[in-house]
Amino acid sequence: MSKLEFCSMQGRVAVITGGARGIGRAIAEKLALLGADIVIADMLDELAGKTADEISDIVHRKMLAVKVNVADGKSSGEMIDRTVQHFGRIDILVNNAGITRDMLILRMEEADWDSVLDVNLKGVFNCSKAAIRPMMKQRYGRIVNISSVSGQAGQAGQANYSASKAGVIGFTKALAREVASRQITVNAVAPGFIPTYLTNDLTEDLKKSILSATPIGRMGKPEEIAAAVAFLASEEAAYITGQVLAVDGGLAMM
């Protein structure tokens, strides 16, 4: 089998939330390189447009940039509607949008808890619910949710983030059972520590602690998360659903 045939996305339409930068951008680039047409959905609409143009210049795929607030059901629904109106279908949804509001729980404000759960968990619900209807009609779909090692093992100072990402895992398994009969798979990727804008504020001591706890001995790369997502979104993964793929250098090894 040639490289072009393996994990080919030719003829597919993929929506990536939080796709303007970081892991989301890497996923968008990977799926576009494999042949998919891409929707970059992000709160940062100007950056989303710039990202879409840059990826299009490289891989010459059809691109659409859409502003979305995944925490809002109406906004999420409009994003999916616009995708279907523009491309005629949606085959792949990558729920990547996420935020952090790290703080020890004794100092964590209720608003910090609510905002993280709204984006990271409710956002996955909103976007998945909107995407499921057209996927069910076409009897095909791939949903890949981005969880985290923090959702598997917990992380001090991240009670809100860990809870949201653990919730994503439970949601993934439940939805996978609901839609499997329609040939829709639902899986999750749980990244370890990846250098992105979300990890810019980590102290040097914490970075050293993370590296010492990671058997492979380094942080991951956005491209490594993108490769895992691409596989789960591919035809080759058609018999995989309800699973969580840890891409963490062995950090949460059980």
Where in the sequence numbering do the catalytic residues fall?
Answer: 161
For 38, 80, 242, the CA distances from 183, given in Å and listed in that order, are 21, 19, 13
Q: Give, for 95, the enclosing helix (H) or strand (E).
A: strand 92-95
Q: Give, for 85, the enclosing helix (H) or strand (E).
A: helix 73-87
- Determine the residue type at 242: G
Longest dimension (CA), the chain: 55
CB 61 within 8 A of CB 36: yes
Strand partners, 187: 144
DSSP 8-state class, residue 119? I
Output the DSSP codes for 202-248: --HHHHHHHHHH-TT-S---HHHHHHHHHHHTSGGGTT--S-EEEES
Burial of 45 (0-12, 13-18, 19+ CB in 10 A): middle
The two structure tokens encoding residue 30: 């990977």
CA nearest to 120, candidates 86, 78, 163: 163
Q: From CA 83, how far away is CA 174, in angstroms rounded?
A: 25
